[in-house]
Amino acid sequence: MILSVACYDCHSNNTRYPWYANIQPGSWWMASHIKEGKNGLNFDEFASYSNRRQQSKLKSIVNSINNGTMPLSSYTLIHKEAILSKEDKMSIKNWANTIKDSLELRN
């Protein structure tokens, strides 16, 4: 639930396009961000990543939440619902770490 609200716009194939997607330069600016976001991590393609790459991505998720680099501040500026509370951050990190640990055991 948190992931879909705060992350999926740029990290999945299910982008909910906002009003400014229809006007320039909003649309150009957004398209480049989404392309970059999906390139780095796409939840819809996650299952096709190798075990090694899945672990890498989960680790990066935890790091980017810890560092506060994600969600991008330029994104949360407009999408207030994507601002993560302490609890949100905690549950995303726990979720990512749990899966990462289980993937590690399968190595």
Partner 1 sequence: MKALIFSIALSTIFFAACNSNGTKQATSETTDMAMNETAATADNPLKGIVTGYLNLKNALAKDDDKGAADAGNGLVKVFDGFDKSSLTADQAKIFADIQTDAREHAEHIGSNAGNIGHQREHFETLSKDVYDLVKVTGAGEKLYYSNCPMYNNNKGASWLSETKDIHNPYLGMSMETCGAVKEELN
**Residue 56 contacts residue 28 (beta carbons within 8 Å):** no
Structure tokens, 70: 């994600």
Task: For the CB of residue 103, give the shortest distance to partner 1 in the complex, in Å.
Answer: 5
C-alpha span between 67 and 45 (Å, rounded): 24
Q: Which two tokens stand for residue 103?
A: 């993937």
> Quick check: 13 binds partner 1 (CB under 8 A)?
no
Q: Which of residues 43-102 bind partner 1 (CB under 8 A)?
A: 46-48, 50-54, 56, 59-60, 63, 67, 69, 91, 95, 98-99, 102
- For partner 1, the binding residues (CB under 8 A) are 1-4, 46-48, 50-54, 56, 59-60, 63, 67, 69, 91, 95, 98-99, 102-103, 106-107
